[in-house]
Amino acid sequence: MLINSETKVLVQGLGKDGSFKAQKAIEYGTNIVACVHPNKKGQLFENKIPYFETAKEAVKKTGANVGVIYVPAPFAMDAIIEQVDANLELIVCITEGIPVHDMIKVKNYMKDKNSRLIGPNCPGIISPKLKIKIGIIPGNICKDGDVGLVSRSGTLTYEAIAQIGEAGFGQSLCIGIGGDPIHGTSFIDALSYFEQDKNTKSIVLIGEIGGTKEQQAAEYIKTHISKPIVFTIAGTTAPKGKRMGHAGAVISGKMGLASEKIKALKEAGAYHSDDPSKIGDTLKNIF
């Protein structure tokens, strides 16, 4: 997912929450080299990290290659496009509540670009081995290991990380792809990465009701994934037509049902944890 020992992070959107999360990322070990805020050019964050007026200027002066966005929803589309134009390799957008039509514009704009987007409305990514945390996943619950985690749900990402640790395993990389209807990195993108990653021996996938992303992942698993996968689907008791938490977690047709997703993934050979609290136990049982 384009993070390694050479990763240099740019932070855009340093309000109260963004500043707190940036501080936590620095404490974890993340190499944050630049901050972007149009009204703070020339100032320093934490008395050492320079502010720049634009992402392009920050990249030119610091060599930043990854960006994280905490910009409020009305301005997040422009921030993503600005970071794409700055040629950042990876962009992680944490912002929740970005209008769907804004994300349609972003997806169309990024079609021929080299940047990869994770999010929006996601907890980001974390590598316990590299001590790199881009987003809001708590670093204290992670430990180095060989289980790759990909999730639509932020809260269940943290729950799964804790359970993986309690089961005696650790994480190679955790990726929160976000729960919005339109986002950048997909389950398939993450699965492809984990299949190629020599440090990942097994995979945990957390899906939700709504859409067909899990069914698409199931089809991909059948022909492209050789590593064992444990999965759970949140929202098994959700009523039809009622949004459950995320903007994308709403059943609008048969394919959006948890039962349909579970069926598809089981047919693809993945191991089902029928209770989100048993992810760690299910993982332990297959080894």
- The residues annotated with a catalytic role in the active site are 246
List the strands of the sheet with 49-52, edge to edge.
Answer: 44-45, 49-52, 32-36, 9-12, 66-69, 90-93, 116-118
Q: Are 22 and 32 in contact (CB under 8 A)?
A: yes
How far is the C-alpha of 13 from the C-alpha of 156, rounded, in Å?
Answer: 25
Q: How many CB atoms lie within 10 A of CB 279?
A: 26
Q: Are the C-beta atoms of 41 and 53 separated by less than 8 Å?
A: yes
Helices in the chain by DSSP H: which ranges?
A: 16-28, 55-62, 73-85, 100-110, 154-166, 187-196, 213-224, 258-267, 279-285
Q: What is the CA radius of gyration of the chain?
A: 18
Both structure tokens of 211? 């859409």
Tokens of 134: 């881009």
Looking at beta carbons, which pairs linking 139-143 to residues 24 or more positions away fall under 8 Å?
Answer: 139/24, 139/27, 139/28, 141/165, 142/170, 142/171, 142/174, 143/170, 143/171
Contact 210, 85 (CB under 8 A): no
CA distance 258 to 236: 5
Question: From CA 22, how far away is CA 202, in angstroms rounded?
Answer: 30
